[in-house]
Amino acid sequence: MNELDPDLLFALRRVFDPELGLNVVDLGLVYEARREGDVAHVAITTTTPACPLHETLTENARAAIEAAVPGIREVRVVRAFEPPWTPERMSDEAKQQLGWQKGTDR
């Protein structure tokens, strides 16, 4: 899972992790974002397997794509567990916003 459609990613940048206040793209939570005709397929993960916000992120991802990407009739969002999320997946911008220095773990 590594297809990342730029239009879908643009829409997903409007979906924020409520606890961290950062978008799911910069957090590295989006594992797949692709189109198949008029259907969008998205695979997202959470920062921890037991995260209670998965349903919220799923619904917000669906709504963001439906609102921002013309021609999408259906959005299918699944939760991905592999590979496990690590802070290395975050963008440099996200690390900076969290006050993390590049290359260090918290």
Q: Which residue has the higher pLDDT, 79 or 105?
A: 79
What pLDDT digit, counting tens, does each position of 33-79 carry? 999 999 999 999 998 888 888 999 999 999 999 999 999 999 999 99
pTM of the model: 0.88
Q: What is the pLDDT of residues 1-29, one digit of tens each?
A: 567 999 999 999 999 998 889 999 999 99
The domain 6-97 belongs to what CATH superfamily?
A: Fe-S cluster assembly (FSCA) (3.30.300.130)
Domains in the chain: boundaries: 6-97
Q: How far apart are CA 76 and CA 91, in angstroms?
A: 25
Q: What dihedral angle (degrees, nearest 10) is formed by the CA atoms of 89, 22, 40, 55?
A: 100
- Asked whether residue 92 carries a pLDDT value surpassing 80, the answer given is yes
